[in-house]
Amino acid sequence: MEGERKLSAEAVAIFREGIGLVLSRWSALQLAVDNEWGGRGSRQKAEQLAADAFSWFTQSAEILYIDDLEDILNEAMISLNTMTEDGSIEEVAEKLMFMYEDCLTDNFNSVESLRDANRRRVAVPHVRQVSYNLYSIPLAFSRIR
């Protein structure tokens, strides 16, 4: 049986930051928050998602399965009235799982890469209007960058 694996004190703070960085780069989540698709409390729901994900990683006594993390992410998106069918939930869950594994060994390269990418980040349009005669349909393109 594998020994109990815990984050070091330094890794706890860095991993928490990493979760925030990953979620801040998730286009579907940011669209839902920016447009308040989950109501006026959309930003708080996104912050709660980050806290819930962190707790799931750090407080669970059970083996961590990616499917459970995907369920947490999906439920948060549903609370924001957002359905994602673009594979981004799975992509975000995978990034978080790999980041957690790295942080367990005090390897913070993935978080550092996200920090660097955030510094270089430029605005990229996520939504465009497509007009068909009398109708205007917003299309959301969601991919983690």
Q: Which residues contact 80 (CB under 8 A, 6 or more apart)?
A: 29, 32, 33, 37, 38, 42, 45, 46
* pLDDT value for 1: 38
> What is the domain partition of the chain in residue ranges?
9-140
* pLDDT value for 12: 97
**Ordered per-residue pLDDT tens for the chain, 145 residues:** 355 689 999 999 999 999 999 999 999 999 999 999 999 999 999 999 999 999 999 998 889 999 999 999 999 999 999 999 899 999 999 999 999 999 999 999 999 999 998 888 655 555 444 444 444 444 555 555 5
* pLDDT value for 125: 52
Partners of residue 21 on adjacent β-strands: none
